[in-house]
A and B are shown apart, each in its own frame.
Chain A
Amino acid sequence: MLEVEDLTVEVEGKEIVHDISFNVDIGETLVLFGPNGSGKTTLLMAIMGLPRYRVTRGRIVFKGQDITQLPVDERAKMGIGILFQRPPVVRGVKMREIVRACLGGREDGAVIEQLAQKANMVEILDREVNYGFSGGEVKRSELLQLMAQSPEFVLLDEPDSGVDLVNISLVGEMINELLQKDRLRSRTNSGLLITHTGHILDYVDADRACVLLYGGIWCRGNPREILVSIKSHGYEGCAVCQK
Chain B
Amino acid sequence: MSEITRSKAAREKAEKAREKAAPLGDDIDLDAYSQVAEEHPYQDDPSRLPLETKQRMLETGVVLDDASQRSGTFLQVDHSVVHSKAGQDGLEVMSTVTALEEYPWLKDYWWRAVAVDADKFTAQAELHQTHGYFIRALPGVKAIQPIQACLYLSQHGLAQNVHNLIIAEEGSELHIITGCATAPIEQEGLHIGISEFYVKKGAKLTFTMIHNWAPKMAVRPRSGIIVEEGGVFLSNYICLKPVRTLQMYPTAQCVGENALVRFNSVLVAPPGTIMDVGSRVILAARGSRTEVVARAITTGGTIIARGHLVGQVAPVKGHLECRGLILSEKGSIHAIPELEGLVEGVDLSHEAAVGKIAEEEIEYLMARGLSRDQAIAAIVRGFLSVDIEGLPPQLEAELQRAVELSEKELL
- For A90, the chain B residues whose CB sits under 8 A away are 361, 364-365, 379, 382
> In the complex, which residue of chain A has the Cβ closest to the Cβ of B369?
A76
Which of B74-82, B237-245, B270-278, B370-378 lies on the face that meets chain A?
Answer: B370-378
- Extra A-B contacts (18), CB below 8 Å, given A48-B367, A73-B371, A87-B364: A50-B367, A73-B366, A73-B375, A76-B366, A82-B367, A84-B367, A88-B358, A88-B360, A90-B364, A90-B382, A93-B378, A93-B381, A94-B382, A97-B382, A98-B365, A101-B368, A101-B370, A101-B378
Closest 3 CB pairs of A and B: A92-B382, A93-B382, A76-B369
In the complex, the answer to whether B369 meets A84 with C-beta atoms within 8 Å is no
- For B358, the chain A residues whose CB sits under 8 A away are 88
In the complex, the answer to whether A104 meets B369 with C-beta atoms within 8 Å is yes
Chain A contacts with B in 69-128, Cβ cutoff 8 A: 71-73, 76-77, 81-82, 84, 87-88, 90-94, 97-98, 101-102, 104, 128
Could you tell me the distance between the alpha carbons of A39 and B336 in the complex, rounded to whole angstroms? 43
Q: Identify the A interface with B (CB < 8 A).
A: 48, 50-51, 71-73, 76-77, 81-82, 84, 87-88, 90-94, 97-98, 101-102, 104, 128, 145, 149
CB distance from A42 to the nearest CB of B (A): 15
CB distance from B365 to the nearest CB of A (A): 7
In the complex, the answer to whether A51 meets B382 with C-beta atoms within 8 Å is no
In the complex, the answer to whether A92 meets B369 with C-beta atoms within 8 Å is no
Residue among B363, B370, B378 making CB contact with A50, cutoff 8 Å? B363
In the complex, the answer to whether A73 meets B372 with C-beta atoms within 8 Å is yes
Q: Identify the B interface with A (CB < 8 A).
A: 323, 358-361, 363-372, 374-375, 378-379, 381-385
In the complex, the answer to whether A76 meets B363 with C-beta atoms within 8 Å is no
- Given known pairs A92-B381, A92-B383, A97-B382, the reply for A73 and B361 (CB within 8 Å) is no
Could you tell me the distance between the alpha carbons of A46 and B371 in the complex, rounded to whole angstroms? 18
CB distance from B362 to the nearest CB of A (A): 9
> In the complex, which residue of chain B has the Cβ closest to the Cβ of A93?
B382
> In the complex, which residue of chain B has the Cβ closest to the Cβ of A76?
B369
- For B363, the chain A residues whose CB sits under 8 A away are 50-51, 72
Residue among B364, B372, B378, B384 making CB contact with A88, cutoff 8 Å? B364
Residue among A71, A87, A94 making CB contact with B366, cutoff 8 Å? A71
The SS class assigned to the B binding surface is helix
The SS class assigned to the A binding surface is mixed
In the complex, the answer to whether A101 meets B365 with C-beta atoms within 8 Å is yes
- For B366, the chain A residues whose CB sits under 8 A away are 71-73, 76
- For A48, the chain B residues whose CB sits under 8 A away are 367
CB distance from B264 to the nearest CB of A (A): 13
Could you tell me the distance between the alpha carbons of A92 and B361 in the complex, rounded to whole angstroms? 12
14 contacts between A and B (CB under 8 A): A50-B367, A51-B359, A71-B372, A73-B366, A76-B369, A77-B369, A81-B368, A90-B364, A91-B323, A91-B383, A97-B378, A98-B368, A101-B368, A101-B369
- For B385, the chain A residues whose CB sits under 8 A away are 92
CB distance from B401 to the nearest CB of A (A): 17
> In the complex, which residue of chain A has the Cβ closest to the Cβ of B323?
A91
- Given known pairs A91-B383, A93-B379, A97-B378, the reply for A149 and B368 (CB within 8 Å) is yes
> In the complex, which residue of chain B has the Cβ closest to the Cβ of A87?
B364
CB distance from B88 to the nearest CB of A (A): 32
- For B374, the chain A residues whose CB sits under 8 A away are 101
- For A94, the chain B residues whose CB sits under 8 A away are 382
- For A128, the chain B residues whose CB sits under 8 A away are 382
